[in-house]
Amino acid sequence: MELPEYINIPQFSIKEPEKRKHLSHFLNSLHVHHFKNNKEYTKVSRQIFNKDEKSFIDRIEDLPFLPVSIFKNHYLSSVAENDVFKILTSSGTTGTVPSKVVLDKETAQLQTLTLSKILTTVLGNERLPMLIVDSQSVLKDRATFSARGAGILGISIFGKNHQYILDDNYELNEELLLGFLEKFNGKKMLIFGFTFMVWQYLYEKAGKKNIDLSNAILIHSGGWKKLQEMAVDNQTFRQKLLERFGLKQIYNFYGMIEQVGSVFLENSEGYLHCPNFSDIIIRNPYDFSVQPHGKEGLIQVVSVLPKSYPGHSLLTEDIGICMGEDDSKSGWKGKYFKIIGRAKKAELRGCSDTFAQSKQ
């Protein structure tokens, strides 16, 4: 089976072990490709995992992986420089080094295709009037996108009549917001924004108006740290938006710029769910052993998409718990999980010490 054919299968539909068989096939191909074309991946594969380009990896748990932080300090490309289509950069917090991710046209096209396959599961195939809780200025540099800009651009293909409700100074333009809602009053619409911005600008600043969003679908992600400092968790976020706006269809997603196209969408139970072409592994942060379902650890994400850079197998800095596989009450197949939070510095230091071996 070719990759495009595999991606076109309806998402959240493949059970294990069939999914493992397909993932193993595609991930082995990517392992060989990156081993031959990326020196950092070659070093890690040889020195830490004792794998070379001839190694067949039967279990995805045995696939070499890179720490996600490596993209902050290395320019990782597995394609010729003249094949680089664009470079994505992470938003990052003030004072931190952003990640840089290299895309060629093929990987960028796959990213768009897979995002479409995931989101049409909940949005349907009709493009909807779209309200964007952000400023259009975030898209100014088309060659070097931030994570926010890439997210907006990716989701925008599912909308029409796009309306940004923040000005260039990131202040709410209430007139534009109310005008959009009046124009499409009672119609199905799409709202997209990063989680903290949805809370700050839509819930807190616009929430005093009599606004009915009962026909809207909200897609959101990121910015949870600020909300957690305000004692706002996912359940509270959903409940408050329902009470104030009648907003029932709310879908959080987990993803990262370092692994393009791998979007883990929230299912109807409130858990994040693996699509057909991506998976997660939960690892003990001290010895990297695989944790059983129900036990927390570092989240490793794998994807069949990244060809232009070695992002097919990444160890994140997030702690999570795999809640189960193929038995979600939502009816979706595959693993489903929840995020606990960021790893502690001691846990990340242990990871850094291990991967430092590959630099020797």
Residue 199 clears pLDDT 90, i.e. is over it:
yes
Residue 163 clears pLDDT 70, i.e. is over it:
yes
Q: Output the CA–CA distances (angstroms, integers) from residue 69 to 77, 126, 142, 259, in the order listed.
A: 15, 38, 24, 12
2 confidence band (pLDDT: 50, 70, 90):
confident
CB 134 within 8 A of CB 171: no
Average pLDDT over residues 205-212: 81
- Specify the pairing of strand 128-135 against strand 189-194: parallel
Nearest to 193 by CA among 243, 230, 156: 156
Residue 76 clears pLDDT 60, i.e. is over it:
yes
- Token readout for 51 is 């794998």
Domains of the chain listed by start with CATH number? 3-103+258-359 (3.40.50.12780), 120-254 (no CATH)
Looking at residue 48, its amino acid is: I
Specify the 3-state DSSP secondary structure of 123: helix
Average pLDDT over residues 120-147: 82
Instruction: Return d(Cα 26, Cα 305) in angstroms, integer.
Output: 9
CB 35 within 8 A of CB 53: yes
Instruction: Return d(Cα 195, Cα 241) in angstroms, integer.
Output: 12
Looking at residue 286, its amino acid is: Y
- Token readout for 94 is 């003030």
Cα dihedral 310/315/321/325 (nearest 10): 30
41 confidence band (pLDDT: 50, 70, 90):
very high
Residue 160 clears pLDDT 80, i.e. is over it:
yes
Residues of the chain with pLDDT > 90: what percent?
A: 66
Average pLDDT over residues 31-47: 96
151 confidence band (pLDDT: 50, 70, 90):
confident
- Which residues, listed in sequence order, are joined to residue 273 by a DSSP beta bridge? 265, 336
Residue 186 is predicted with a pLDDT of 83
- Which residues, listed in sequence order, are joined to residue 87 by a DSSP beta bridge? 102, 144
Residue 92 clears pLDDT 60, i.e. is over it:
no
Residues of the chain with pLDDT > 70: what percent?
A: 92
Convert the pLDDT of each residue in 303-358 to its tens digit.
999 999 999 999 999 999 999 999 999 999 999 999 988 887 645 554 555 555 55
Residue with tokens 């990121």: 222
- Specify the pairing of strand 297-303 against strand 278-283: antiparallel
Convert the pLDDT of each residue in 259-275 to its tens digit.
877 889 999 888 999 99
